[in-house]
């Protein structure tokens, strides 16, 4: 089943590995499902069925003009779960994918889900507002959009340096691995890439957090300069009743690559528990 069709007739690329209890992985911006490969392989080898898909507009999925908002993203996740016909699933989102998980839990009442995961996630809220003074100013996201519009290829090279913490730790990831992620970023459409900056940068998930009524694993790097831990993971852990927060000391945003084995082990322990 390489593609499924959503309720608005958008085709999403889906891959399934392994055999066992289902785990659905939702990727971050500006990547695609292949960014989860290290974890997907480890989970499949540990006895799980791993479902990973490319968000609309990214990777091998279709690039419609509309639908780059979290209500639609949550509906897309629901349509993937329906298409692959899984029950008692764990759904795990990285970065902007954490927003999909939160909005799915509230909008679709956590249907088919028994565990959840927020990895380097943007939840509960990134933007600086009057009632959220510690958030990132709108100018941060405006600057990202301007950089993408001006020279997306060059912007992504610079962005990935911060993504993987290479300014402080040049040995965190090989040049080849960074280039692999750059290739993933460049597979996305320009319009979806821009629209998703607005989506993850300005969507307020605080009202969605009460919908997490299942055991939830939260993993975040303390040196994450893209999605700061103080306004995301540490806050989310106080808002979710059955949350387990694991902080990776000194880890950057892209810890699924820089700390791939540790994340895989922590996911397996959480899912086996």
Torsion sign across C-alpha atoms 98, 59, 181, 115: positive
**Nearest residue to 62 (alpha-carbon basis) of 1, 17, 6:** 6
Nearest-angstrom CA–CA distance, 3 and 75: 16
List 27, 224, 259, 266, catalytic entry: 224
Residue 224 is among the residues annotated as catalytic for this protein: yes
Residue 180 is among the residues annotated as catalytic for this protein: no
- CB 133 within 8 Å of CB 66: no
Distances in Å between the alpha carbon of 23 and those of 92, 112, 189?
7, 11, 27
Look at the pTM and tell me if it is higher than 0.85.
yes
Question: Given this model, what pLDDT does residue 1 score?
Answer: 58
**Rg of the chain taking only CA atoms, in angstroms:** 17
Question: Given this model, what pLDDT does residue 2 score?
Answer: 92
Structure tokens at 155: 């912007």
Structure tokens at 200: 């993850």
**Nearest residue to 234 (alpha-carbon basis) of 225, 252, 246, 251:** 246
**Nearest residue to 65 (alpha-carbon basis) of 198, 192, 201:** 192
List 79, 253, 259, 266, catalytic entry: 253
- CB 14 within 8 Å of CB 80: yes
Q: Beta-strand (E) ranges in 79-160? A: 89-94, 113-119
Residue 95 is among the residues annotated as catalytic for this protein: yes
**Annotation: CATH topology of 3-272:** Rossmann fold (3.40.50)
Distances in Å between the alpha carbon of 267 and those of 4, 90, 122?
26, 10, 19
List 95, 181, 220, 259, catalytic entry: 95
pLDDT by position in tens, the chain (length 273): 599 999 999 999 999 999 999 999 999 999 999 999 999 999 999 999 999 999 999 999 999 999 999 999 999 999 999 999 999 999 999 999 999 999 999 999 999 999 999 999 999 999 999 999 999 999 999 999 999 999 999 999 999 999 999 999 999 999 999 999 999 999 999 999 999 999 999 999 999 999 999 999 999 999 999 999 999 999 999 999 999 999 999 999 999 999 999 999 999 999 999
Structure tokens at 250: 């000194």
Nearest-angstrom CA–CA distance, 141 and 147: 10
């Amino acid at each position: 089943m390489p593609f499924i069709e959503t309720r608005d007739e958008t085709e999403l690329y889906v891959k399934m590995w392994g055999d066992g209890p289902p785990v659905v992985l939702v990727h971050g911006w500006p990547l695609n499902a292949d960014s989860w490969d290290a974890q997907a392989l480890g989970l499949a080898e540990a006895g799980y069925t791993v479902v990973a898909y490319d968000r609309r507009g990214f990777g091998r999925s279709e690039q419609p003009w509309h639908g780059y908002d979290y209500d639609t993203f949550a509906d897309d996740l629901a349509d993937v779960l329906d298409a692959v016909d899984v029950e008692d699933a764990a759904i795990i989102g990285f970065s902007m994918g954490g927003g999909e998980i939160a909005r799915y839990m509230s909008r679709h009442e956590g249907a088919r889900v028994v565990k959840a995961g927020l990895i380097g996630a943007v939840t509960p809220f990134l933007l600086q507002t009057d009632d959220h003074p510690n958030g990132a100013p709108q100018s941060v996201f405006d600057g990202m959009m301007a950089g993408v519009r001006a020279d997306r290829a060059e912007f992504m090279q610079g962005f990935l340096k911060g993504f993987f913490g290479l300014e402080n730790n040049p040995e965190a990831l090989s040049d080849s691995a960074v280039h692999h992620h750059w290739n993933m970023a460049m597979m996305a459409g320009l319009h979806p890439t821009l629209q998703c900056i607005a989506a993850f940068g300005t969507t307020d998930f605080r009202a969605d957090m009460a919908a997490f009524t299942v055991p939830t694993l939260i993993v975040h790097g303390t040196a994450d300069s893209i999605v700061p831990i103080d306004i995301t993971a540490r806050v989310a852990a106080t808002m979710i009743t059955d949350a387990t927060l694991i902080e990776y000391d000194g880890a950057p945003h892209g810890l699924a690559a820089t700390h791939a084995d540790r994340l895989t082990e922590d996911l397996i322990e959480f899912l086996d528990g």
